[in-house]
Homo-oligomer: A and B are copies of this chain.
Amino acid sequence: MVKDLSHLLSEESKGRQPSPLKSAFKYYGKEDIVFLGGGLPLADYFPWEKIVAYSPEPPFEDGIGAQPSVTGKATVSELHKHKVEEFDIPLARSLQYGHTQGNPELVDFLKEHTKMVHNVPYDEWDLCLTIGNTQSWEACIRSFCNPGDSILIEEYTFPSAVETARNLGVNFVPIRMDAFGIIPSALAELLEQRKELYELACKYDFVIIEDEPYYFLQMTEYESGKEEEIKTPSHEEFLKSLVKSFISMDTEGRVLRLDSFSKVLAPGTRVGWIVGQSALLERFVRLHEVSIQAPSGFSQSIVQALLGRWGQSGYVDWLIALRKEYSIKRDFTIRCLEKYMPKEVVSWTPPIAGMFFTIVLDASKHPDFATKYDSDPLKVEDAVYEHGLKDGCLMIPGSWFVAPNRKNTPGNTFFYRGTYAAVPLDTLGVGLERFAKAVKSEFGL
């Protein structure tokens, strides 16, 4: 039963009125009305008559990095000012004002996709496009937090997300996570955590912001010593294998799910979307009317042209192929760690999702820990970071992810976060060997 949660909105969001001009806009494009209402330039004056985009073609047997000019198999999106394909967003519309929520063709595609993947357990949900999850998150903070309000965050978290909220007078309350929190290591455990948290949200009446751009980068668990070829699952197997999202268990309509094309198509699309109960999403549309208006029309037209041609099925093919690439890179990373890292100092848990891995170091194993580093593990963390940089590999110190107000825990371990996303395999291997060398050298091994 969807709850009325309007009492949780911020003062800023509660009071926002639609612009009176918007009430006139319902007459725009009506055949019997000459619309002299708003400063909408004629589409005749948009200096783009046609845009053609060349993309790979499902089912991507040659991998998602294979270029159509090499394989000869291309999805060609030909976009015109006026509508040609039923599923296309014509440039005359996407490059015009309007459709703050997003053009209906793309919104509909994403709704169908959301139904298929998350099966939202209530009817009154809606979907609104954004400029990506950073902006979605900013909109959430501004929509739900008055100065003095508190947000619960993981004790290790994305520093930019903290920075968004820090100056708005919000209190941060970090929650303890296991296994350094930021890298899930077992699906079953993750699901249990989620169920528990959702129950708490219902009991204590808070909203959950589910910021999950990496959702489709879930892999099978890593098996040491196995170097078999990664299997391509069927669509059904793939969808079934995904961990249940918060929104999929959201019977009360108190989850806002933030999704994005940044990790699965390209960050520069600057297209994300929020899924949640309609009454709350209406407030986001009001905010967007007086801020971003809508994502780029080029982005909407070009992305939807591709998705329309691929279809839901082709898009799932893409996601499966993408997951395969990241699985290969994850497996390669772990094998490199096994090969290069000194196990007496470094440990790790193979990740099952996302673009990142962590390595945990024990500072007390450093011969000069008590002397040179005053028994402060963060000083060792910094020294190894700098040494890594000098040797030519950058990994991010774990302390950079510490949430505000987190209490220090006794212990001598610290960690680094690395990614297997940003470089090709061979470079990844070189980098990990370099970082291992830096660790060994620092620890006198």
Contacts and interface: CB of A to CB of B under 8 A. Distances in A.
Interface stretch (A191-199, A231-239, A241-249, A388-396): A388-396
A175 interface: no
Contact of A297 (B11, B13, B266): B266
B295 A33 contact: no
B65 A45 contact: yes
A361 interface: no
Contacts of A296: 268-271, 295-296, 298-299
A270 B291 contact: no
Report copies per complex: 2
Interface in A60-88: 64-65, 67-69, 74
Interface string A115-150: 000000000000000011011001000000000000
Contacts of A413: none
A322 B45 contact: yes
A203 to B, nearest CB: 30
Given A34-B393, A36-B423, A266-B297, 9 more contacts: A40-B422, A45-B325, A47-B64, A50-B54, A96-B268, A131-B131, A138-B291, A270-B293, A299-B299
23 contacts: A13-B167, A19-B160, A19-B163, A20-B159, A36-B420, A36-B435, A37-B394, A39-B354, A40-B267, A48-B55, A48-B306, A50-B69, A51-B51, A51-B54, A95-B268, A96-B266, A135-B292, A164-B291, A266-B297, A267-B293, A267-B297, A271-B296, A298-B299
